[in-house]
Amino acid sequence: MTLQAIIDWDDAYANSAHIADGDRWPEAWVEPARRWREACGTRAMLDLPYGDAPRNRYDLFLPEGTPRGLVVFIHGGYWLALDKSYWSHLSRGPLARGFAVAMPSYTLCPETPISGISREVGAAITAAAARIEGPILITGHSAGGHLAARMVSATSPLPREVAARVVHTVPISALADLRPLMRTEMNDTLHIDDAEAAGESPALLAPLAGARVTCWMGADERPEFRRQSALLANIWSGLGAAAALFEEPGRHHFNVIDGLEDPDHPLTRTLLGE
């Protein structure tokens, strides 16, 4: 990967403009997600509370039979947009493999800072873990990839007994270092400052002892997203985590998550350790 000096930081973190028909996302996910919730019927437990804020809700999808464990998918949207309803169909792959899947929403910036979102996601995982026994596997996309990695950093908001159950984390197209985002126009709303970046950037934090992390990205991602994924895998490997990096050919920022729909796709099998 060739690294060049960045002149336009907003463009560096823009995805739609650099993908053919990129403006069709995120709406392209709405109908597949709705159809899947409908198909799951009573195996989709929707809008379960995990806190008092309006967006402190998660959906829990149950497999046939006793769950083998719990997968948590954390949505992206630059901590500024979207909610759990866009991604329901991505539970399909893990469900077919016998895992329950939790998908939380969380309060968005600027109503809460990113540190507040981290605490909410920790509370959501804790609530789901109280319902589902067994190992926990965490994944998330983009800003959700940041939050997934944040859950297994040394200052994780997860209670010790819940963190001990996390056996694998797969941040997808993750934002691991928040400092570059301070140079974007988004930061007028995100309000990331030096302290927030230091405390909430997984790449600036140590991993939990024994953490196993696979950083997943598309080969056609924007250079900054590829750099950020590689950065996290590199640093955490050097700090003792079982860290790996996988670049999926032919995938860009929006379709890199599609593999979770397929129980036999490498992304699903990697997440589940199969």
Beta strand pairing status for 57-61 and 242-248? Answer: unpaired
- Residue 3 located in a structural domain: no
Structure tokens at 27: 């709406």
pLDDT of residue 3: 63
159: alpha, beta or left, given left = phi > 0 and alpha = psi -120 to 50? beta
Sorting pLDDT into bands at 50, 70 and 90, what band is 136?
very high
pLDDT of residue 274: 82
How far apart CA 249 and CA 114 sit, in angstroms, is 31
- Residue 131 located in a structural domain: yes
Sorting pLDDT into bands at 50, 70 and 90, what band is 21?
confident
- Residue 2 located in a structural domain: no
pLDDT of residue 2: 66
Structure tokens at 52: 């008092």
pTM for this prediction: 0.96
How far apart CA 258 and CA 254 sit, in angstroms, is 8
**Per-residue pLDDT tens digits for 75-94:** 999 999 999 999 999 999 99
Beta strand pairing status for 44-49 and 100-104? Answer: unpaired
Q: Residue 255 sits in which domain range? A: 9-272
pLDDT of residue 265: 98
Sorting pLDDT into bands at 50, 70 and 90, what band is 17?
confident
How far apart CA 146 and CA 74 sit, in angstroms, is 9
Structure tokens at 191: 């309000």
- CATH number of 161's domain: 3.40.50.1820
Total number of domains constituting the chain = 1
Residue 266 pLDDT > 80, yes or no?
Answer: yes
- Residue 1 located in a structural domain: no
- Let me know the angle formed at the C-alpha of 41 by 56 and 168, rounded to the nearest 5 degrees: 55
**Per-residue pLDDT tens digits for 51-75:** 999 999 999 999 999 999 999 999 9
- Residue 66 located in a structural domain: yes
Residue 250 pLDDT > 80, yes or no?
Answer: yes
What's the chain's average pLDDT? 96
- Residue 210 located in a structural domain: yes
Structure tokens at 170: 């797969």
**Per-residue pLDDT tens digits for 117-129:** 999 999 999 999 9
Share of the chain above pLDDT 70, in %: 99
Share of the chain above pLDDT 90, in %: 95
Residue 1 pLDDT > 70, yes or no?
Answer: no
Structure tokens at 5: 């000096």
- Residue 4 located in a structural domain: no
How far apart CA 218 and CA 272 sit, in angstroms, is 19
The phi and psi torsions of 126 (rounded to 5 degrees) equal: -65, -40
- Residue 222 located in a structural domain: yes
pLDDT of residue 22: 86
Structure tokens at 159: 């209670």
**Per-residue pLDDT tens digits for 156-191:** 999 999 999 999 999 999 999 999 999 999 999 999
**Per-residue pLDDT tens digits for 97-118:** 999 999 999 999 999 999 999 9
**Per-residue pLDDT tens digits for 190-248:** 999 999 999 999 999 999 999 999 999 999 999 999 999 999 999 999 999 999 999 99
Q: Can you spell out the DSSP letters for the chain?
A: ------S-HHHHT--GGGSTTGGGTTGGGHHHHHHHHHHHGGGEEEEEESSSSTT-EEEEE--SSS-S-EEEEE--STTTS--GGG-GGGGHHHHHTT-EEEEE--PPTTTS-HHHHHHHHHHHHHHHHHHS-S-EEEEEETHHHHHHHHHTBTT-SS-HHHHTTEEEEEEES-----GGGGGSTTHHHH---HHHHHHH-GGGSPBPTT-EEEEEEETTS-HHHHHHHHHHHHHHHHTT-EEEEEEETT--TTTTTGGGG-TTSHHHHHHHT-
